[in-house]
Amino acid sequence: GEDGDYKGKSQFFTHLKKSEANSDFARNKTMSEQRRFLPVYEVRDELLQVIRENQVVIVVGETGSGKTTQMTQYLHEDGYTDVGMVGCTQPRRVAAMSVAKRVSEEMGGELGQEVGYAIRFEDCTSENTVIKYMTDGVLLRETLREGDLDNYSAIIMDEAHERSLNTDVLFGILRQVVARRRDFHLVVTSATLDSKKFADFFGGVPVFNIPGRTFPVEVMFSKTPQEDYVEAAVKQAIAVHLGHPEGDILIFMTGQEEIEATCFSLQERIDHLGEKVPPLLILPIYSQLPSDLQAKIFDKAPEGSRKCIVSTNIAETSLTVDGILYVIDTGYCKMKVYNPKMGMDALQVFPESQAAANQRSGRAGRTGPGTCWRLFTETAFRQELLAVSVPEIQRTNLGNVVLLLKSLNVDNLLDFGFMDPPPKENLVNSMFQLWALGALDNTGALTPIGRKMVEFPLDPPLAKMLLVGAELGCADEVLVIVSMLSVPSAFFRPPDRAEESDAAREKFFVPESDHLTMLHMYQQWKKNGYRADWCSDHFLQAKVLRKAKEVRQQLADIMEQQKIPIRSAGSDWDTVRKAICAAYFHNAAKLKGIGEYVNCRTGIPCFLHPSSALYGLGYTPDYIIYHELVYTTKEYMQCVTAVEPEWLAEFGPMFFSIKENHSSRLDARAKQKAAKLAMESEMGVAAAAAAKARAE
């Protein structure tokens, strides 16, 4: 086989017959038998007792031990739901949906009734809901309305080891709820052993360990660095399929595009091998995949075949699929990281941490001894990977968090009870950006517009776009644009009909704007009665557009509650571009060469993305703003709109003035510097005052 390219690491591995070890109990056992088989079941009563006797408990258990699916049900069975809901937070939307579905099946009900879930823009709960799974972001927003979380008798903060931004903020907020409400119970779960830190944070609370039940995993490192890990992973998966006993395969990739490429290439090769080869069921999973397709990863492969799941790091700890004996790990993951040079967040591919690599390989040893192929060298593992990942709060833009905490009247952000406070620099930058958007005033306090922005479950610039749109009389159009920006791209491009689909896409192009292109497409869809067949004729995904319509409705409802008028600008789309500019002037770029722009504030080169209408039509206006940057071979601007330089000066006077000369640039710099200093000193003064108050 192709194992010759890898060398083994663990010596203790013995060549058990894998088909024996891979007990297919799930195929034969009833759901309640499966529940009783989970490690957490053996300690159920002790666990409930510890929770009864302590307001806060940290629970540690290997991935797959039953923490997420069982503990909510145990609390329900123990009577917690008689007085309120049991909530369970997840850092990932896919996990919240998938786990809720599983638990509602285990309880024999319909999803959305007794067991439900809520993620941003999607609330699948009812009055009957007693167990509610949700993203940590949803619970965080609930604390805005209901500071003491009175609807809940208990919250399980799941996957705390992930240290997602929202979970980290919830840590601070829930610690206050625990102090105020004696009848409230909090369970924090972690798949790793960093539990001591969590226990200390809550003042030395008990840590409950669920004894694990895992099998050895042989780890194979690549002898040489891999140039193309998609290709290497495909090759390895084929080798496993042809040369290894039965057992499913799990491949870790960083994101949707790679996953699709991997699946496509795997399928092609399997087809090429013909009928001599047993069937391989290839199943992708990533967050934007429709949920019915996501659920397929849990289906058992038919007798005589094998399944191969190709996943983002969602399958690292959030979701457990039984029967995996082979893991192929590319060694990379996508992370959102604040790039101070660009002054914004960007999703970038990074090497995973050693801890993550070990989590990934562990996925092969749940139902029997397994094997993990790492597509990187052992030297790289030791010398290049960080021991653990950097918590999100220390690496991303904190705009949303700052807005939220300010509206919870946390005036001094540095004094908020963070487990690991964000670097002051990050806080100051985020405050500066909110100040530039007009959400904070010179003293760092929320402005009236900032207060309105908090009401929307959107990133601050998008909320600003809606509010300016309302002022300019084009909220109707901006609502559509914001909704389209909140869902995945609606275009699909089947590899075998690429040209045809590109031609269909071009029909919607509005020369000066990708934002307006989206608006145009949506309006055409509406004109055609929101029909699904119209969508497929135009290579559009009806599901995505329907989702955008739902999002639009929810945002419109919030505007109505806030008594913000929704008017249409009719055919005056210049006004719409102006509203877009008002929210994204910080992402302005100026034409430098053919298709080449430079960021107006930083001078960093950036390029029109080939999917852009401007690129497609070869239109290169002098000034544009972009929605976000993506890094692939170079820095591409995603979703671009042409703007007038006067608008930049009108909305972003701290950055731009109409006549760009030396003194006006100096002037703008001085203004920015003064604002940053004001933010810093505001925080310094507040911190000193708080310290003084504590001392007294």
Contacts with Mg ion by CB under 5 A lie at 67-68
Kindly tell me which of 102 and 601 has the beta carbon lying closer to ligand ADP.
Answer: 102
Kindly tell me which of 69 and 426 has the beta carbon lying closer to Mg ion.
Answer: 69
Give the chain's length.
696
Separation CA 100–CA 137 (nearest Å)? 17
For 332-355, the three-class secondary structure string (H helix, E strand, C coil) is EEEEEEEECCCCEEEEEEEECCHH
Kindly tell me which of 101 and 547 has the beta carbon lying closer to ligand ADP.
Answer: 101
Q: Which of 38, 97, 234, 470 binds ligand ADP (CB under 6 A)?
A: 38
* 153 CB-near residues (< 8 Å, 6+ apart): 80, 81, 82, 83, 84, 85, 86, 183, 184, 185
Q: Which of 122, 123, 246, 322 binds ligand ADP (CB under 6 A)?
A: 322
Using rule CB under 6 A, residue 104 touches ligand ADP: no
For helices 256-273 and 229-243, give the axis angle rounded to 10 degrees: 40
User: Shortest gap between Cβ of 62 and ligand ADP (angstroms)?
Assistant: 7
Using rule CB under 6 A, residue 65 touches ligand ADP: yes
Kindly tell me which of 65 and 394 has the beta carbon lying closer to ligand ADP.
Answer: 65
User: Shortest gap between Cβ of 591 and ligand ADP (angstroms)?
Assistant: 50
Using rule CB under 6 A, residue 323 touches ligand ADP: no
Q: What share of the chain is helix, strand, coil (3-state, %, to 5)?
A: 50, 20, 35
Phi and psi angles of residue 187, each rounded to the nearest 5 degrees, phi first: -120, 130
**Residue 69: contacted member of Mg ion, ligand ADP, none (CB under 5 to 8 Å, by partner type):** ligand ADP
Other Cβ atoms within 10 Å of 82 Cβ, number: 9
Torsion of CA 546, 547, 549, 554, to 10 degrees: 150
User: Strand 207-209's sheet: what is its strand order?
Assistant: 122-124, 115-119, 131-135, 85-90, 152-157, 185-190, 56-60, 207-209
Using rule CB under 6 A, residue 67 touches ligand ADP: yes
User: Shortest gap between Cβ of 205 and Mg ion (angstroms)?
Assistant: 20
Kindly tell me which of 62 and 218 has the beta carbon lying closer to Mg ion.
Answer: 62
| Residue nearest Mg ion, CB atom distance | 68
Using rule CB under 6 A, residue 91 touches ligand ADP: no
**Residues 556 and 467 sit within 8 Å (Cβ to Cβ):** no
**Residues 363 and 7 sit within 8 Å (Cβ to Cβ):** no
User: Shortest gap between Cβ of 24 and ligand ADP (angstroms)?
Assistant: 13
Using rule CB under 6 A, residue 572 touches ligand ADP: no
Q: Which stretch binds ligand ADP (CB under 6 A): 59-67, 166-174, 347-355, 684-692?
A: 59-67
Kindly tell me which of 315 and 427 has the beta carbon lying closer to ligand ADP.
Answer: 315
Q: Which of 57, 60, 66, 251 binds ligand ADP (CB under 6 A)?
A: 66
Which uninterrupted H or E stretch holds 543? Answer: helix 542-561
Q: Which of 131, 127, 98 is nearest to 115 (CA)?
A: 131
Using rule CB under 6 A, residue 63 touches ligand ADP: yes
Using rule CB under 6 A, residue 72 touches ligand ADP: no
**Residues 256 and 349 sit within 8 Å (Cβ to Cβ):** no
In 287-331, which ranges are E strands?
306-311, 324-329
**Residue 452: contacted member of ligand ADP, Mg ion, none (CB under 5 to 8 Å, by partner type):** none
**Residue 64: contacted member of ligand ADP, Mg ion, none (CB under 5 to 8 Å, by partner type):** ligand ADP
Structure tokens at 284: 């992708």
Identity (one letter) of the amino acid at 180?
R
Q: Which of 430, 228, 404, 243 is nearest to 330 (CA)?
A: 228
Other Cβ atoms within 10 Å of 562 Cβ, number: 12
Using rule CB under 6 A, residue 298 touches ligand ADP: yes
Using rule CB under 6 A, residue 368 touches ligand ADP: no
Using rule CB under 6 A, residue 552 touches ligand ADP: no
**Residues 29 and 103 sit within 8 Å (Cβ to Cβ):** no
**Residue 517: contacted member of ligand ADP, Mg ion, none (CB under 5 to 8 Å, by partner type):** none
User: Shortest gap between Cβ of 187 and Mg ion (angstroms)?
Assistant: 12
Using rule CB under 6 A, residue 73 touches ligand ADP: no
**Residues 75 and 63 sit within 8 Å (Cβ to Cβ):** no
Using rule CB under 6 A, residue 235 touches ligand ADP: no
Structure tokens at 363: 């996925």
Structure tokens at 619: 């239109």
Q: Which of 18, 76, 93, 102 binds ligand ADP (CB under 6 A)?
A: 102
Residue span 624-663 as binding mask against ligand ADP, x where in contact by CB under 6 A, dash where not: ----------------------------------------
Using rule CB under 6 A, residue 98 touches ligand ADP: yes
Would you tell me which residues interact with ligand ADP (CB under 6 A)?
38, 61, 63-70, 98-99, 101-102, 298, 320-322
